[in-house]
Structure 1
Amino acid sequence: MLYVANAGDSRCVLCRKDGKALDMSNDHKPEDEIELKRITRAGGHVNIQGRVNGGLNLSRAIGDHCYKANPDLPLEEQMITAVPDVTSVKLEHTDEFLVLACDGIWNVKSSQDVTDFIKGELFEDKNSKLSLICEKLFDICLAPDTMGDGSGCDNMTCIIVQFNPTWLSSLQNIVKDPVVYHDNIKKNVKDFSSVSLVKATVKPNNDLKINNVKRSRTEDNDVTNNVPKHIIKNEPKRQKSI
């Protein structure tokens, strides 16, 4: 089983048999009906550019504590929440790879476009370095200049995980009761996100204001460091380009 927990507008896409792209997450955008209702009920608004109170352009996120400081609302009803959506799918031996990328990619290419590109690169050279495929993907997403539609520039981040078909075939008997396991996964993720939110909102920084958003960013650890080598053929690297 593959489980994906998502909060934000990065997306996970699974390449299935014959190269069909399967979205494993939904982008959380402020203008989406469900997200917009929660934001409005919490006292926020979304402008014409799709930004919450003129600042954040996604509706779920870890951090961004100034959007989560309403003492009269539970954590999941704040303007911005870190509570994720959890999806799952049974992996088949014909599944080829999954790709995780931020909106800098998906604002330019569709899930199927990206899947087709990666599959084509792997077809040309099955031993191609995944990091180089990421770089090529960035190149085709780059704008020729910074003018565009006036909305500015964005970063690009991509991770490709290529499955080992022998390993996938061996998974059939690992999880005997996927329904119970799935329920436990969802409960654990929800509990973890709630605890994290409590810690984040108990002592909000005084210099954070709703209409003047200040955000701190830290470099993520390479999530592939702890992935067993037998799961993937090539160890992918996290790449960024601006």
Structure 2
Amino acid sequence: MGTYLSTPKTDKLSEDSENERVRFGLSSMQGWRVTMEDAHAALPDLDHTTSFFGVYDGHGGATLLSKVVAKFCAKYLHQQVLKQEAYSTGDIETSVRKAFIRMDEMMRGQRGWRELSILGDKINRFTGAIEGLIWTPRGGEASSKIDDWAFEEGPHSDFTGPTSGCTACVAIMRNNQLVVANAGDSRCVISRKGEAYNLSRDHKPALEVERERILKAGGFIHAGRVNGSLNLTRAIGDMEFKQNKFLSAEKQIVTANPEVNVVELCEDDEFLVLACDGIWDCMTSQQLVDFIHEQLKSESKLSRICERVFDKCLAPSTSTGEGCDNMTMILVQFKKPIQSPVSAEEVDDKLKTAG
């Protein structure tokens, strides 16, 4: 985590798109980090009524393995939301909860090993820097072609999953309903009449509800870190913290179980931001919303606004640590005024509770 390049990589990978409901721009930048450990997913048309946006920030252990976990989530989490039975009944909240937990289940065993290996091979085909993980299946088959994720016998069938992990913060919009699910310290913020409202909270050991779960599961907190190691209390992956066979996935020392916030959008809602902690280390939620508002006065391309946020956050040197992380940001603008069936006061109360 503390290893930096001599000069930052400021090349940015950016994208813009839109449909009848939203327009969005996104960008990612490696910065001072030796590797890029962020990943993202942006699907304005998850189905004909639903949009999905997510950011995933890898951490811990071998850096190449951590970004493989982030890429795994970017590839599969939204697919699993769609596959849940609850999704077909309109229960997005239950669907996204199960999809987060499902990520851990899918990364175990031979099938999980195989897919992580394929993703790892795509990331660094030549160095083999993910020690003991690079293993290409016969014919290099893509396991994503198989709908069923059944347990497979054979080499690595006892693989318990990756020791590295990633945060996950996703926003799913259907009609007036916005569902935000978060595990970790990536963050989702909405702007309402210029005010920033956090729709997620950072999962840190200082939170009492997190501390209680950690201690009950047999873990401890030292120097502000879980078991003296991880500075997050919820994440996908990090399987070394999820080995108690007598506890459910939701009650492990570190859990992939997300906090979910469901709000009704109204006509005062302007835009939504999803970003990894490389941004929030440098700007508060309100500072970012203010900056975006100022940029929107003269810039219509949303990805360019994301790029300018990175330039503003990027540290001139690595002496302080802030502004030295990978940076990923998705900016989603609501295209049409939304008439909310509930009062603005009720929505404001819900948003403030979430913050």
Shift of 1:45: 2.1
* Matching residue of 1:2: 178
Deviation at 1:110, TM superposition (A): 0.7
Aligned residue pairs total 166
- Rounded to whole Å, the distance in 2 between the matches of 1:108 and 1:139 is 11
In structure 2, the CA distance between the partners of 1:45 and 1:152, relative to structure 1 (3 Å rule), is: farther
Distance in structure 2 (CA, Å) of the matches to 1:76 and 1:89: 23
Tell me if 1:39 matches 2:214: yes
The separation in 2 between residues aligned to 1:64 and 1:5, in whole angstroms, is 19
2:326 is the counterpart of 1:155: yes
User: What is the SS of the residue equivalent to 1:96?
Assistant: strand
In structure 1, how many angstroms separate the alpha carbons of the residues matched to 2:198 and 2:209?
Answer: 19
Letter in 2 for 1:78: Q
Alpha-carbon distance between aligned partners in 1 of 2:287 and 2:222, rounded to the nearest angstrom: 29
Look up the match of 2:66.
none
Q: CA deviation at 1:72?
A: 2.2
Q: Distance in 2 between matches of 1:40 and 1:155?
A: 31
Secondary structure of the structure 2 residue equivalent to 1:165: coil
| Other-structure match for 1:196 | none
Query: Which residue pairs with 1:16 in the alignment?
Result: 192
Consecutive unaligned residues in structure 1, runs of 5 or more: 173-242
Q: C-alpha distance in 2, partners of 1:158/1:32?
A: 25
The alpha carbon displacement at 1:116 in A equals 0.5
Gaps of 5+ in 2: 1-176, 342-355
1:146 aligned partner, one-letter code: T
Match runs of 1:162-173 below 5 Å = 162-166=333-337, 168-169=338-339
Kindly indicate which of the two structures has a greater share of residues assigned to strand. 2
Report the residue type matching 1:155 in the other structure. Answer: N
Q: Which runs of 4+ in 1 moved over 4 A?
A: none
How far off is 1:111 after superposition?
0.6
Helix, strand or coil for the counterpart of 2:318?
coil
Residue identity matched to 1:148? T
- Aligned partner of 1:161: which letter? V
How far residue 100 of structure 1 moved from its aligned partner, in angstroms, is 0.5
CA distance in structure 2 between the aligned counterparts of 1:119 and 1:100, rounded to whole angstroms: 16
Partner Cα separation in structure 2 for residue 115 and residue 165 of structure 1: 19
Does residue 98 of the first structure (1) align with residue 98 of the second (2)?
A: no
**Residue pair 2:282, 2:323 contacting (<8 A) in 1 also:** no
Partner deviation per Cα, 1:117-144 (whole Å, 9 max, x = no partner)? 111101223x2x1111111111111222
In structure 1, the residue matched to 2:102 is none
Q: Write the distance in 2 (CA, Å) between the matches of 1:83 and 1:62.
A: 8
Aligned to 1:181: none
Question: Residue deviations 1:34-55, cap 9 Å, x none?
Answer: 112211222222222x322232
- The 2-side partners of 1:39 and 1:157 are apart by 29
Paired position in structure 2 for 1:108:
282
Which one of 308, 316, 326 corresponds to residue 144 of structure 1?
316
Three-state SS of the structure 2 residue aligned to 1:108 is: coil
Aligned to 2:80: none
Quick one: which amino acid aligns to residue 27 of structure 1?
Answer: D
Cα shift at 1:153:
4.2
- Which amino acid letter does the alignment assign opposite residue 39 of structure 1? I
- 2:208 maps to amino acid: E
CA RMSD of aligned residues (A): 2.1
Residues 6 and 53 of structure 1, relative CA distance in 2, 3 Å threshold: same
Q: TM-score, normalised by structure 2?
A: 0.44
Q: Deviations over 1:139-162 (max 9, x none)?
A: 11122211216x994221111001
Structure 1 residues 60-110: Cα deviation after superposition (integer angstroms, max 9, x where no partner): 111111111111222211111111111122111221100001111112211
Conserved? CA contact 1:94–1:165, under 8 Å: no
SS of the equivalent of 1:124 reads coil
* Closer/same/farther in 2, CA of residues 28 and 165 from structure 1, 3 Å limit: same
Is the CA contact (8 Å cut-off) linking 2:313 and 2:323 kept in structure 1? no
Q: Which residue of 2 aligns with 1:87?
A: 261
* In 2, Cα distance between equivalents of 1:152 and 1:132: 19
Q: Which residue of 2 aligns with 1:183?
A: none
CA–CA separation in structure 1 for the residues paired with 2:227 and 2:324: 20
Aligned partner of 1:122 in structure 2 is 296
Give the partner amino acid of 2:190.
L
SS at match of 1:79: coil
Q: Distance in 2 between matches of 1:131 and 1:95?
A: 20
